[in-house]
Amino acid sequence: MPKGTRLTRRRLDAWQLKIGMYVCEVDRPWRETPFLFQGFPLLTVDDIQAVQACCQYVFIDELQQVQVSPEHAPTSSHRRKPLSHELQQARHCQQASTRLIDHVFSSILQGHQIDLPACREVVRENFDSLLRNESALLWLTRIKSQDEYTSQHCIAVSIMAMGFGHHLGLGRAALEQLGLCGLLHDVGKIRVDQNILNKPDKLTQEEFEHIKSHAHLGFELLRQHQDLAAIVSQTALGHHERLDGEGYPQRLNADQIPYFTRIISVIDCFDAITSHRVYDRARSVKDAFKVLMDERDTQFDAELVMRFIEWMGIFPVGTLVELHTGEVGVILEKHPRLQLRPKVAVLIDSEGQPCPPRFLDLAKICVDSDSQPYRITACLPDGALGLNMADPQVRALVDSAQLAELDDDSEVPDLVAHWAANSTPR
């Protein structure tokens, strides 16, 4: 290197990488990566995805950045579809996912190999649905049966991981790999004692140690599949590790926990807290966010926690909410700009009684009997007022023709935008 020239190195998280950057150092020994050279430019989307698949962060050399032609830039071939259109397709995806995960668990119990091509196909179809309308499939993931928690949890984590990863800017190949990590992260639970797994009372220390074995059992199951990327089995092993080194089973420190595993850990916790389990009732989204925030930098990656909450929004899809009128509904679709103004299906009237679904788009001129604009005053946990996401009344929303009334995507009038920005809940 000529005298007076210095290497300009900058650390970046893997999700921040862009085409043209030059990677000069990674977060692990080069021999533990698939890269042939100790330093290389990111010339294609595939290059970025390869780094994202195995690294949490890298160092780039700003002096060696290169110009790359525009045709390499990532693009999407999907156009956003209205919610009412995509819900039907999303339901087919959810049903296919359920059949697939049931088959995976059955194969494991019978000592057979997991059908990885079928897993990859389900992940691809789910991702395509997310691209067409993210809210449709995310809403359906909230409809879980307590008796099928493990399987439905795996599906939900896979779908949310891809939606979140897309928000982070990951490329398609990396997102499908991340979706596979989520789908298979808990497969080890099928090998633990189901009586202990489904015990409604507090576990003894011995029973808890047995449940913790699911991480290693899942790792051993998945590592037998030679055509499966190592990050998938590593995520099954490490999704209960903590940044402070107090996790299990290996008590890894922060630098040893891969980026994909960190993502799955955040989503795994969020979905568990907001779902009904045999030993715990579902808690509200607000409670889940508080847990994630309280555990930043000890259990969870702080940056990922903040980006996850940013992506989910104040009122995530599938959340039960109370309106200022006393009515209760479920969030169907987020508004891209006005987080306080989503689309809602009212299911309980102001007297606390179930009512036929009534659909409100709070981003439009939408007022109560006193000509006051509708607003949300509280988030409620699933099961509040006897309203459960798995109830037939909620499931029937998928088939409701009235949903089409919500699909007018015309620009929000300035007056309503002003209303949304300045209204204060009572």
Bridge partners, 358 (sequence order) = 346
8 A C-beta contact, residue 138 and residue 160: yes
* Predicted local confidence at residue 120, as pLDDT: 95
Tens digits of residue pLDDT in 255-289 = 889 899 999 999 999 999 988 877 778 888 889 99
8 A C-beta contact, residue 211 and residue 192: yes
3-state secondary structure string across the chain: CCCCCCCCEEEEEHHHCCCCCEEEEECCCHHHCCCCCCCEECCCHHHHHHHHHHCCEEEEEHHHCCCCCHHHCCCCCCCCCCHHHHHHHHHHHHHHHHHHHHHHHHHHHCCCCCCHHHHHHHHHHHHHHHHHCHHHHHHHHCCCCHHHHHHHHHHHHHHHHHHHHHHHCCCHHHHHHHHHHHHHCCHHHHHCCHHHHCCCCCCCHHHHHHHHCHHHHHHHHHHCCCCCCHHHHHHHHHCCCCCCCCCCCCCCCHHHCCHHHHHHHHHHHHHHHCCCECCECCCCHHHHHHHHHHCECCCECHHHHHHHHHHHCCCCCCCEEEECCCCEEEEEECCCCCCCCCEEEEEECCCCCEEEEEEEECCCCCECCCCCECCEEEEECCCHHHCCCCCHHHHHHHHCHHHHHHCCCCCCCHHHHHHHHHCCCC
Please state, rounded to an integer, the average pLDDT across all residues of the chain.
83
Bridge partners, 300 (sequence order) = 296
Give the CATH class of 84-311: mainly alpha
The pair of structure tokens assigned to 388 is: 């459960």
Tens digits of residue pLDDT in 288-346 = 999 999 999 999 999 899 999 889 888 888 888 999 999 999 898 887 777 778 889 89
pLDDT confidence bin for 400, thresholds 50/70/90: low
Pick left, alpha or beta for residue 378 (phi over 0 → left; psi -120 to 50 → alpha; otherwise beta).
Answer: beta
Tens digits of residue pLDDT in 97-146 = 999 999 999 999 999 999 999 999 999 999 999 999 998 899 888 877 66
Sheet with 57-61: list strands edge to edge: 9-13, 57-61, 22-26, 40-41
Bridge partners, 331 (sequence order) = 344
Sign of the alpha-carbon dihedral angle for 363, 79, 175, 139: positive
Nearest of 327, 416, 421 to residue 377 by alpha carbon: 327
> What predicted TM-score, i.e. pTM, was given to this entire model?
0.76
- Asked whether residue 9 carries a pLDDT value surpassing 90, the answer given is no
* Predicted local confidence at residue 412, as pLDDT: 43
* Predicted local confidence at residue 406, as pLDDT: 60
pLDDT confidence bin for 225, thresholds 50/70/90: very high
Pick left, alpha or beta for residue 292 (phi over 0 → left; psi -120 to 50 → alpha; otherwise beta).
Answer: alpha
Q: Round the CA-based radius of gyration of the chain to a whole number and report it.
A: 23
Q: By mean pLDDT, which of 300-304, 349-353, 390-394 is the weakest?
A: 390-394
Tens digits of residue pLDDT in 170-211 = 888 889 999 999 999 999 999 999 999 989 888 999 999 999
Q: How do the domains of the chain map onto residue ranges?
A: 9-68, 84-311, 320-422
pLDDT confidence bin for 424, thresholds 50/70/90: very low
Helical packing angle, 172-184 and 83-109, nearest 10°: 50
